[in-house]
Structure 1
Amino acid sequence: MKQRKIFIAAAAFAFLLSGCESDHADSYPFDNAAYIDVAETTSDSNVTFKKTVSELDRELSAVLICPATVDTEVEFAPDASLVEGYNARHETRYTMLEEKYYDFPVRTALIEAGKSVSLPLTIHFKGLDQLEIDQTYLFPVTIVSADGVSLLNGSKTVYYLVRRSSAITTAAILTDNWIEIPGYDKPGSADCVNGLTAVTYEAIVRVHDFHYAGPTSTYIEEKLSTIMGVEQHLLLRIGDTNFNAEQIQVDGSGVSLGKFPEKNSGKLLSLEEWYHIAFTYDLATGEAYIYVNGQLQSRTTVAPTVKAINLGLRALAENPEESDARQFFIGYSYDNFRQLCGNVAEVRVWSVARTREEIWRDMYDVENPSEKPELRGYWKFNEGKGNVIKDLSMYGNDAVSHTDLKWDTSIEIPQLNKQE
């Protein structure tokens, strides 16, 4: 339903904008109108943040359907009177964010003649660490006046949903990007992921497109999306050739596991849903498991012919810098067409095959990670900025993005293990 509303709104804007193609204002089939840029397709704007955040900023601009013929001032203001109507429409009980939690010093935007968008105004949210955890506050901001033009009712107001969350609120966007672990290619620092007799991979992911293979590529039916691991050795991924593009698969070709599970249309993931995905493998028993959101999805038993699992293959080569051995990546494997088109958080590598109970308990956080020697790599992806992702394990192998990393900092990942 929400997607339909966005489509209708976008279509309406396209129709309105088509009237601006004329060079003569008197030929417009309607009056010019002002609206808020962040309310163009939906009036709700999430301001969700982790519980330790104390302040953050949001920007908004005034927009005209057609370029202004003269300088046009647009005035904004918070409006507590809109809270009751919002709650009635959405069957919520939100309260208005108190004034002590925000600064909105400049409330008038100027759209210069010949232009259709103003410079942005800034709302500074402050004292956020004093808000109740997991409670949503409403902060409506509306256009109260615009010189000489009408207001576009459906987009003249933005409702900021301010929420201090106990959940994960930050993740990296890996579309057209991926993550490298430089330490895993070097002798010494890679020792923590070599010579293992068991392993567990964990990650939280949300996929935007299972068939996207890069900005210059076409649609690929049997697409492979990489989560983490080493190509042709031990790789956790979604999809494969002659396999469902939406189904989790492990390629353990280098550690006697082969590919598993079999193709099964009953095990497909959905777009835009958050999943905690875990894979375990134990050489002593030959047992391998895949868990989705803490629940067993697939299992197999093999007869291993290797004595150890090595993830830092280049570090084992005589000349690591010149080695053609495969590398460990997050979101990348064989080539640029096998990236993960989506978000990632809470990536971990363990030297043990974790149990279902352990996976369920720790899906969204690991307590005291630096005190757990079996936790060989732990990247929370909670930085929210920059290109370096800290390794919170005791081994300190920080990760680095291939290109400048984009972040999503207003998410809220449901904590399934805390729901009744």
Structure 2
Amino acid sequence: MNKYLLKYIAFCFIVMLLGSCNDSESDLLEPKVYFENKEYVIEVTDAEAMTHDLQARVSSLYSSSVEVFYEVADPSIVAAYNKKYGTEYETFEASNVKLGSGSSVVPDGQVYAEQVSLQFSNLKSIEEGKSYLLPVRIKSASLPIIEGRDIVYFVVTKPVRIMKVAKVYSNYIKVPLVPGTLFSSITYEALINVDWFGNNNTVMGCEGKLIFRIGDTPLVAANHLQIAGNKEFSVSQGLEEQKWYHVAFSYDQPTGKAVIYINGEKASEATWDTPNFDLTANAGGFFIGKVAGFMWGERPFYGQMSEVRLWNISRTENQIKQNMITVDPKSEGLAAYYKLNGTDQFQDGDTWKVKDASGHGMDGLVNGGRSALNIIDLDEPVTIK
């Protein structure tokens, strides 16, 4: 082929490429409509109704006004959201939502649309601890809409107020796991508030197999969370005294992923290849608060506890974060659940026990059955910050 013809073809290709780049740049610079925030949390109090502002925007200034139309999205959006993020939100009923207006305008020379009121009603019917999701969509606009930013999610929740907790000073609960019970994937969870750190403070688990504890000096600082047993790892951040935390550990056997969470956030992780865990009495027993009768020291916890849970599945980060203060007792994979609020403590004859809120009959033996847990009243509800 003639070398001049080759140069001509190459020149034409470059011109076409530059033209394509200019088109892409022009497309990126074109003003588009979207929601600036993806999610809002509406915490319900005792009010019957609450109002929140809804506001779309354009990505850049436009030479004329822009009209935007809104609608409450279909409930299938909630199902898709739960599947994508591993959450368990229920759909907030559209009949309990009223848009002040179905449309708003972005004035000429501005980027924010006029605010539209979104009223939530019938809120007194919401149960404590339940969370609902309401998706609101930009239905249409006089400019293009940014795909994926056309929906804003409102999380409507009524927080549980925990005002009674167990004061665990060398007290303990023994979980009656049935001999032969094996855990492949597993999750531990608890709300804790430490009064003071010792050399080794037991949160929960089976010593030597899979124990969730705080400190193991000199190897682990006295205020650092650690999971230990057949394998172990710890976190690098320390806990503070007289402060509430939600702490969790999860192990997913199929992926080998082991994670320690603090307040719903990953604090440390590792990769394991453990086939299963025997946490029954045959392996030493599963304890909460201290390891009673352990030959090298019982390693008691000194502080307050609430919402202690054992799962036979690996809970996701979003599931843990969404359910720190409470969880549905009927949740899949919940093996044992101790609320430790005083109402779940009872005597079976002369034996003290704490009821398993999951309904699986795993009522815990308190202090060997000899004495009750010390339940205290709080001046303000448990808050995770």
Distance 1:412 1:398 in 2: 28
Report the Cα offset of residue 259 of structure 1.
1.5
Residues 1:202 and 2:175 are matched in the alignment: no
Is the 2:160–2:325 contact (alpha carbons within 8 Å) kept by the matching residues of 1?
A: no
Which string of whole-angstrom CA distances, capped at 9 and with x for unpartnered residues, describes residues 347-388 of structure 1?
001111111110011111112x1x334100111112256542
Q: Which runs of 5+ in 2 are unaligned?
A: 1-45, 47-127, 129-158, 347-351
Equivalence for 1:227: 203
Distance 1:197 1:173 in 2: 31
User: Aligned with 2:378: secondary structure?
Assistant: coil
Q: Quickly say closer, same or farther: Cα 1:352–1:336, change in 2 above 3 A.
A: same
Letter in 1 for 2:215: G
Equivalence for 2:145: none
Letter in 1 for 2:232: K
Which residue of 165, 168, 180 maps to 2:162? Answer: 168
Residues 1:352 and 2:313 are matched in the alignment: yes
Q: Quickly say closer, same or farther: Cα 1:374–1:411, change in 2 above 3 A.
A: farther
Distance 1:326 1:199 in 2: 18
The 5-angstrom pairing of residues 246-325 of structure 1 reads 246-253=223-230, 258-261=231-234, 264=236, 267-302=237-272, 304=273, 306-314=274-282, 325=283
Residues 1:338 and 2:299 are matched in the alignment: yes
- State the percentage of identical aligned residues: 33
Is the 2:209–2:277 contact (alpha carbons within 8 Å) kept by the matching residues of 1?
A: no
User: Aligned with 2:318: secondary structure?
Assistant: helix
Is the 1:168–1:411 contact (alpha carbons within 8 Å) kept by the matching residues of 2?
A: no
Distance 1:337 1:326 in 2: 12
Report the Cα offset of residue 407 of structure 1.
1.0
Aligned alpha-carbon RMSD (Å): 2.3
Equivalence for 1:178: 172
Report the Cα offset of residue 271 of structure 1.
0.5
Equivalence for 2:335: 376
Q: Greater share of strand residues, 1 or 2?
A: 2
Residues 1:410 and 2:375 are matched in the alignment: no
User: Aligned with 2:319: secondary structure?
Assistant: helix
Distance 1:337 1:366 in 2: 30
Letter in 1 for 2:187: T
Residues 1:399 and 2:360 are matched in the alignment: no
Equivalence for 2:77: none
Which string of whole-angstrom CA distances, capped at 9 and with x for unpartnered residues, describes residues 11-60 of structure 1?
xxxxxxxxxxxxxxxxxxxxxxxxxxxxxxxxxxxxxxxx9xxxxxxxxx
Q: Quickly say closer, same or farther: Cα 1:177–1:225, change in 2 above 3 A.
A: same
Which string of whole-angstrom CA distances, capped at 9 and with x for unpartnered residues, describes residues 249-284 of structure 1?
00031xxxx12026x3xx000001011001001222
Distance 1:352 1:294 in 2: 17
Which residue of 326, 336, 339 maps to 2:284? Answer: 326
The 5-angstrom pairing of residues 78-227 of structure 1 reads 166-181=160-175, 183-184=176-177, 186-187=178-179, 194-211=181-198, 223-227=199-203
Distance 2:234 2:238 in 1: 12
User: Aligned with 1:245: secondary structure?
Assistant: strand
Which string of whole-angstrom CA distances, capped at 9 and with x for unpartnered residues, describes residues 286-319 of structure 1?
11111111111111113x1x422222242xxxxx
Q: Greater share of helix residues, 1 or 2?
A: 1
Moved more, 402-411 or 224-233: 402-411
Distance 2:166 2:263 in 1: 19
How many residue pairs get aligned? The number is: 216
Distance 1:294 1:364 in 2: 11
Higher alpha-carbon Rg: 2
Report the Cα offset of residue 330 of structure 1.
0.1
Distance 1:356 1:271 in 2: 25
Letter in 1 for 2:319: E
Distance 2:222 2:190 in 1: 18
Q: Quickly say closer, same or farther: Cα 1:166–1:363, change in 2 above 3 A.
A: closer
Report the Cα offset of residue 391 of structure 1.
0.3
Report the Cα offset of residue 412 of structure 1.
3.4
Distance 1:400 1:363 in 2: 24
Is the 1:198–1:353 contact (alpha carbons within 8 Å) kept by the matching residues of 2?
A: yes
Q: TM-score, normalised by structure 2?
A: 0.52
Report the Cα offset of residue 336 of structure 1.
5.1
User: Aligned with 1:285: secondary structure?
Assistant: coil
User: Aligned with 1:239: secondary structure?
Assistant: strand
User: Aligned with 1:247: secondary structure?
Assistant: strand
Is the 2:170–2:290 contact (alpha carbons within 8 Å) kept by the matching residues of 1?
A: no
Moved more, 199-208 or 282-291: 282-291
Distance 1:353 1:395 in 2: 18
The 5-angstrom pairing of residues 23-42 of structure 1 reads none
Q: Quickly say closer, same or farther: Cα 1:238–1:167, change in 2 above 3 A.
A: same
Q: Which runs of 5+ in 1 are unaligned?
A: 1-50, 52-132, 134-164, 212-222, 315-324
Q: TM-score, normalised by structure 1?
A: 0.48
Equivalence for 1:124: none
Letter in 2 for 1:291: Y
Equivalence for 1:239: 215
